[in-house]
């Protein structure tokens, strides 16, 4: 502390630890700490003064001095009022003694009644001990009592509402805890099922890759043999029906050809008839082949 005081002669501030100390405030803080610890009969402990600690202690010292000054003013005022009250009591006592109404000369019941009246006035917070003043004070007390009772009722209603809300909140919390516990139990029981689903998903993903590869291979094979998406099942069915119709048209020609087996042994006529029938069969086969080729070309 002495180092800080001695350094004050070198300037108004000193840079310490990257920040500046205000020596004017530091001196006020040191003086205030010395006065406070001296009043308590103790020695000011050594500690490092930093800008933060000096600023905090300076604010504390300012507030303490302001409070002390205010308390001294209030104390002086109370002492002055007490002196005035003592002087007034002395004057009233002299007046009562002169009038023969001193406390020592009054009966015991009068003294007790006066003390009871003074206690009632102090309880009601009034200096007027007359009947009217006491009645007014009692009326004000009843009004305050009614206000307090109304406030108490409101507070009680609010307390009951808060208690009701608290009970509902506790019930909801209990339900939430029960639901949470149930969900935790369900989660633990579903972990095995989840693992099973993960394995199944992995298997399904592998199968999907396999099927996609097979599908690509099948598409290559179909493209290689000339299959196109336009060649549907319906088209194949129509071609089969047309094939059956051509077969029906071919059967009479074949039957006619077979009938030539019963021809007379005229070799030239038989040969000519056979050649004619063969030409008809070849023409029918060629027509069938052309129809098939045209149907396939239309589908492509």
For the chain, which residues score pLDDT lower than 70? Answer: 1-20, 101-106, 127-131, 225-236, 259-267, 269-270, 295-300
Task: Please state, in angstroms and rounded to a whole number, the distance separating the CA atoms of residues 17 and 246.
Answer: 113
Task: Please state, in angstroms and rounded to a whole number, the distance separating the CA atoms of residues 300 and 221.
Answer: 16
DSSP label at residue 150? H
pLDDT in the model for residue 102: 66
Q: Where are the beta strands (DSSP E) in the chain?
A: 13-16, 19-22
Convert 236-254 to b/e letters by CB count within 10 Å (16 or more is b): eeebeeeeeebeeebeeee
In tens, the pLDDT along 13-47 reads 444 444 567 788 888 888 888 888 888 888 888 87
Q: Strands 19-22 and 13-16, how do they pair?
A: antiparallel
Question: For residue 190, what are its two tokens?
Answer: 């579903």
Sign of CA dihedral 188, 190, 191, 193: positive
Measured in Å, how far apart are the chain's first and last C-alpha atoms? 108
Element (H, E) at 49: none
Q: How far is CA 83 from CA 70, 118, 291, in A?
A: 20, 21, 142
Task: Please state, in angstroms and rounded to a whole number, the distance separating the CA atoms of residues 295 and 236.
Answer: 10
pLDDT in the model for residue 233: 62
Based on its alpha-carbon atoms, the radius of gyration of the chain, rounded to whole angstroms, reads 62
Task: Please state, in angstroms and rounded to a whole number, the distance separating the CA atoms of residues 10 and 26.
Answer: 14
pLDDT in the model for residue 247: 82
pLDDT in the model for residue 13: 44
Determine whether 54 is exposed, middle or buried from the number of CB atoms within 10 Å of its CB (0-12, 13-18, 19+): buried
pLDDT in the model for residue 143: 87
Task: Please state, in angstroms and rounded to a whole number, the distance separating the CA atoms of residues 250 and 288.
Answer: 10
In tens, the pLDDT along 114-155 reads 778 778 777 777 766 666 777 787 788 888 889 999 999 999
pLDDT in the model for residue 141: 81
At residue 14, the 3 state secondary structure works out as strand
pLDDT in the model for residue 265: 56
pLDDT in the model for residue 7: 40
């Amino acid at each position: 502390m002495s180092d800080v005081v001695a350094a004050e002669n070198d300037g108004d501030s000193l840079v310490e630890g990257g920040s500046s100390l205000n020596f004017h405030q530091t001196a006020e803080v040191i003086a205030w700490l010395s006065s406070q610890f001296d009043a308590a009969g103790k020695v000011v402990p050594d500690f490092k003064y930093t800008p933060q600690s000096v600023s905090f202690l300076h604010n504390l010292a300012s507030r303490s001095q302001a409070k002390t000054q205010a308390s001294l003013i209030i104390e002086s005022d109370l002492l002055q009022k007490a002196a005035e009250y003592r002087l007034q009591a002395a004057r009233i006592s002299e007046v009562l003694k002169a009038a023969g109404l001193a406390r020592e000369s009054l009966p015991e019941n009068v003294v007790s009644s006066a003390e009871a009246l003074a206690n009632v006035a102090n309880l009601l917070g009034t200096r007027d001990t007359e009947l009217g003043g006491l009645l007014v004070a009692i009326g004000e007390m009843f009004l305050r009592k009614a206000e307090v009772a109304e406030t108490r009722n409101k507070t009680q209603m609010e307390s009951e509402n808060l208690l009701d809300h608290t009970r509902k909140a506790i019930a909801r919390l209990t339900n939430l805890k029960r639901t949470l516990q149930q969900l935790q139990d369900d989660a633990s029981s579903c972990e095995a099922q989840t693992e099973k689903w993960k394995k199944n998903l992995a298997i399904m993903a592998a199968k999907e890759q396999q099927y996609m590869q097979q599908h690509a291979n099948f598409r290559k094979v179909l493209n290689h043999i000339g299959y196109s998406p336009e060649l549907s099942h319906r088209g194949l069915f129509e071609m089969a029906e047309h094939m059956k119709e051509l077969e029906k048209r071919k059967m009479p020609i074949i039957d006619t050809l077979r009938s030539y087996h019963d021809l007379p042994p005229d070799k030239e006529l038989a040969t000519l008839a056979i050649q004619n029938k063969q030409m008809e069969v070849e023409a029918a086969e060629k027509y069938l082949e052309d129809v098939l080729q045209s149907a396939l070309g239309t589908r492509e």
